[in-house]
Amino acid sequence: MSSFRIFDITGSALSAQSVRLNTVASNLANADSVAGDPSQVYRAHMPVFKAAAELGGENTPGVRVTDVVQSQAEPDKRYEPGHPLADADGYVYAPKVNVVEQMVDMISASRAYQSNVELMNTAKDLALRTLSLGR
Amino acid sequence: MALDPLFGLHSAALAVQKQRMDVLAGNIANSDTPNFKARDIDFAATLRAQLGGGAQGNEALLKTQSTHLDAQSGADSLAGLVWRVPVQGSVDGNTVDTQIEQSRFADAALHYQASLNFIDGRVKGMLTAITGQ
């Protein structure tokens, strides 16, 4: 157990929130990647957060991404017979990524990231002041 | 831990405020974790426990035999850990309100700095006394 447990805790949150930002970026980047086969379509990724007691002791858990799950939503079916990837019936399949939801998720993740950075800064200042006691 | 002769209760207060900041940082880290319940430290109770007195502290057990065990809550134990009552519950069962946690964290950080200042003053005063300049 480190004497600067707060850095472990906020550090775990920073890494978890950046995983979340990465999944949002991946989902938005692939929002328009269509495919001719519904099984080949990109599926939205979502991280699963869990309080991780081992990061800061049982009383003050950090956070950990335990899994990144894929959305089970059925892909959108679009009739585009001229599309080079269209199947025999003239359909292409687009991933069910809700751009608005993803943007909201991104804002939430970046705000959470910011507050944890602020926390880390405060903790660092206090630790430095403690180290320079009596000078 | 008894009252420190040089720093008074500030060394104990510093330790409790640090624990409190750990707990609050854990809350903010888990602000998006489903079913996470926010917690805080009852500062007065924990400080009293650390200084070894008071009702919630580690009162000595009455022992009628020498083989009875001591009921010790070590200096590390968090006697005053309490749950935060949510102002506005959320759908995923999370009770962390980032604004409240941040304000409490600022409060804890300020008190930590205050204790640091007192300790710093004592150290400087002692140094002046020792060097005599």
Per-residue pLDDT of chain A (135 residues; tens, 9 = 90+): 456 789 999 999 999 999 999 999 999 999 999 998 888 899 999 999 999 887 766 677 889 999 999 999 999 999 999 999 999 999 999 999 999 999 999 999 999 999 999 999 999 999 999 998 887
Q: Do B98 and A115 touch (CB under 8 A)?
A: yes
**Residue B32 falls inside a structural domain:** yes
Cβ partners under 8 Å of residue B50, min gap 6: B1, B12, B15, B16, B75
Highest mean predicted confidence (pLDDT) among A56-65, B33-42, B58-67, B78-87: B33-42
What range does the domain containing A66 cover? 5-131
**Residue B31 falls inside a structural domain:** yes
Contacts of B4 in chain A (CB under 8 A): none
**Residue B126 falls inside a structural domain:** yes
pTM for the structure as a whole: 0.81
SS3 of chain B: the string is CCCECCCECHHHHHHHHHHHHHHHHHHHHCCCCCCCCCEEECHHHHHHHHCCCCCCCCCCCCCCCCCCCCCCCCCCCCCCEEECCCCCCCCCCCCCCHHHHHHHHHHHHHHHHHHHHHHHHHHHHHHHHHHCC
Which of B29, B81, B98 is facing A9, going by the closest CB pair? Answer: B29
Size of interface A-B (CB pairs under 8 A): 90
Write down the ipTM of this complex: 0.83
Q: How many domains does chain B have?
A: 1
Q: How many domains does chain A have?
A: 1
With vertex at residue B112, the alpha carbon angle to CA B6 and CA B24, rounded to the nearest 5 degrees, is 140
Q: How far apart are CA A30 and CA A24, in angstroms?
A: 10
**Residue B116 falls inside a structural domain:** yes
What range does the domain containing B101 cover? 9-58+71-131
**Residue B118 falls inside a structural domain:** yes
- Comparing C-alpha atoms, which of A51, A53, A43 is closest to residue A98? A43
